[in-house]
């Protein structure tokens, strides 16, 4: 292992930069040459490589996003395109690759690994929907951003005694909505893992209104429906009496300055990826399981659905958060 490349792909997450920094610095420390690939798989196909030295990653630990850039490259699912990418890696004499991204990006990583390229993946996703790791890089920062914003919304909601619907990210997972609901003291989480119960939600809003609670907050994961659609259901199906307002948090959720947790997680995962490549490991993702770092084979973690942590579901129910009904399978 002499030359390794780093790539970020798919949706950006705060902590990708600290990961790139850690991979670069660890690799240099171990005597490797390090290259960054710009703009994900598209940049790889366009042969956009840049050498990375210690100075190139200086100060990056503080920045959200990814200074290498990222992209979505739908054609990468085709075999002939993957083989083109492999040829470029051979031409560049790259011995190992670290890819930071979500489920889609790591599926692309597995394809390259199956052709024989040593690849290690890092879970870079704010949704925390990657099976096999307790946390993804960027989840903690996204949650802190959501908490900060919902706290501010609650202040104005309380002043006017309103109910607020807040749409948060989470395409296939209610993790952000559920965790933020617990941490902000919100009343309802509308999440894809459970079926929303509009009459129960309205009953809870009415109860709070009657008991002189100043504000109610409902967090809706975007994977269920848009916040506006949910509000319409509250009004048309639930005949809610209270005044309801909507806030869509949108892309600010990705942009927060990485928290201590994410800086440390990204740094540790980046270090482990390089040490793994040096020791001959390949075809796996760095994961954190019960606080311990582990390598997990791509085949064991991809194409699998990650559920919400059972203890968080229990906690939400025990402290009176309405999270909907169990979906019969
Ligand atoms: P994320 O990595 O955040 O889940 P995407 O699902 O958009 O984001 O995937 C990012 C990129 O990974 C895609 O644009 C594509 O280039 C690559 N990718 C996704 N799915 C596959 C697949 N099944 N096979 C190969 N490459 C894939």
- The yes-or-no verdict on residue 328 having pLDDT over 80 is no
pLDDT of the residue at 289: 97
User: pLDDT class for 202, splitting at 50, 70, 90?
Assistant: very high
Q: What is the pTM of this model?
A: 0.96
Selecting among 12, 127, 129, 140, the annotated active-site residue is 127
The CA-CA-CA angle for residues 229, 231, 234, to 5°, reads 115
SS (H, E, C) the chain: CCEEEEEECCCCCCCHHHHHHHHHHHHHHCCCEEEEECCHHHHHHCCCEEECCCHHHCCHHHCCCCCCCCCCCHHHHCHHHHHHHHHHHHHCCCCEEEEEECHHHHHHHHHHHHCCCCEEEEEECCCCCCCCCCCCECHHHHHHHHHHHHHHHHHHHHHHCCEEEEEECCCCCCHHHHHHHHHHCCCEEECCCEECCHHHHHHHHHHHHHCCCCCEEEEEECCCCCHHHHHHHHHHCCCCCCCEEEEECHHHHHCCCCCHHHHHHHHHHHHHHHHHHHCCCCCEEEEEECCEEEEEEHHHHCCCCCCCCHHHHHHHHHCCCECCEECCC
pLDDT of the residue at 312: 98
Average pLDDT, integer, range 296-311: 96
Give residue-wise pLDDT tens across range 21-74: 999 999 999 999 999 999 999 999 999 999 999 999 999 999 999 999 999 999
- The yes-or-no verdict on residue 159 having pLDDT over 90 is no
User: pLDDT class for 161, splitting at 50, 70, 90?
Assistant: confident
Closest residue by Cα to atom 16, ligand 1, is 73
How far apart CA 254 and CA 36 sit, in angstroms, is 22
- The yes-or-no verdict on residue 221 having pLDDT over 70 is yes
User: pLDDT class for 216, splitting at 50, 70, 90?
Assistant: very high
What is the residue-averaged pLDDT of the chain?
A: 96
Average pLDDT, integer, range 161-173: 94
Give residue-wise pLDDT tens across range 241-257: 888 999 999 999 999 99
For the question of residue 127 being annotated catalytic, the response is yes
State the distance from the centre of ligand 1 to the C-alpha of 75, rounded, in angstroms.
9
How far apart CA 115 and CA 139 sit, in angstroms, is 31
pLDDT of the residue at 318: 98
Task: Identify the CATH assignment for 139-255+309-326 out of 3.40.50.1820, 3.40.50.460, 3.40.720.10, 3.40.50.2000.
Answer: 3.40.50.460
Radius of gyration of the chain, Cα coordinates, nearest whole angstrom? 22
Could you tell which of 80, 106, 107, 302 is best to mutate to test the pocket of ligand 1, judged by most ligand atoms within 8 Å of the CB? 107
For residue 94, give the nearest of 74, 70, 112 by alpha carbon.
112
Half-sphere exposure of 179 (CA within 13 A, CB side): 21
pLDDT of the residue at 329: 65
Are the CB atoms for 171 and 223 separated by under 8 Å? yes
Tokens of 28: 């240099």
Give residue-wise pLDDT tens across range 251-284: 999 999 999 999 999 999 999 999 999 999 999 9
For residue 36, give the nearest of 62, 67, 58 by alpha carbon.
67
More confident residue, 206 or 101: 101
Closest residue by Cα to atom 26, ligand 1, is 108
pLDDT of the residue at 123: 98
Per DSSP, what are the bridge partners of residue 219? Answer: 166, 189
Q: What class is the 3-138+258-289 domain?
A: alpha beta
Ligand 1 atom closest to the CA of 82, numbered from 1: 25
The residues lining ligand 1, judged by C-beta closer than 6 Å to any ligand atom, are 9-11, 41, 72-74, 76-77, 101-105, 107-108, 111, 125
Average pLDDT, integer, range 186-215: 92
Q: Where in the chain is the domain with CATH 3.40.50.460?
A: 139-255+309-326
Q: Where in the chain is the domain with CATH 3.40.50.450?
A: 3-138+258-289
């Amino acid at each position: 292992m002499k030359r390794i490349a780093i790539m970020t792909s798919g949706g950006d997450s705060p902590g990708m930069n600290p990961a790139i920094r850690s991979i670069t610095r660890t690799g240099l420390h171990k005597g490797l040459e390090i290259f960054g690939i710009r703009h994900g798989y598209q940049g790889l196909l366009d042969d956009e490589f840049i050498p990375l030295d210690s100075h190139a990653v200086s100060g990056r630990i503080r920045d959200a996003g990814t200074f290498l850039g990222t992209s979505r490259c739908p054609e990468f699912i085709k075999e002939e395109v993957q083989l083109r990418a492999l040829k470029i890696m051979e031409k560049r004499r790259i011995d190992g690759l670290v890819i930071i991204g979500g489920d889609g990006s790591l599926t692309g990583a597995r394809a390259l690994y199956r052709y024989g390229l040593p690849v290690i993946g890092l879970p870079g996703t704010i949704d925390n929907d990657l099976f096999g790791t307790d946390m993804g890089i960027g989840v903690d920062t996204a949650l802190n951003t959501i908490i900060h914003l919902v706290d501010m919304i609650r202040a104005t909601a309380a002043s006017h005694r309103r109910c607020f619907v807040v749409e948060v990210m989470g395409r296939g997972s209610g993790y952000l909505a559920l965790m933020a609901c617990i941490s902000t003291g919100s009343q309802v989480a509308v999440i894809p893992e459970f079926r929303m119960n509009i009459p129960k939600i309205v009953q809870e809003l009415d109860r709070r209104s009657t008991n002189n609670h100043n504000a109610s907050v409902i967090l809706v994961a975007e994977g269920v429906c848009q916040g506006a659609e949910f509000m319409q259901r509250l009004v048309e199906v639930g005949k809610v009496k209270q005044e309801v307002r909507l806030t869509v948090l949108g892309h600010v959720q990705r942009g927060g300055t990485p928290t201590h947790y994410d800086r440390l997680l990204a740094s540790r995962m980046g270090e482990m990826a390089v040490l793994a490549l040096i020791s001959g490991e390949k075809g796996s993702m760095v994961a954190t399981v019960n606080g311990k770092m582990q390598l997990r084979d791509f085949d064991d973690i991809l194409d699998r659905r990650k559920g919400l942590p059972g203890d968080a579901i229990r906690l939400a129910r025990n402290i009176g958060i309405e999270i909907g009904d169990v979906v019969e399978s």
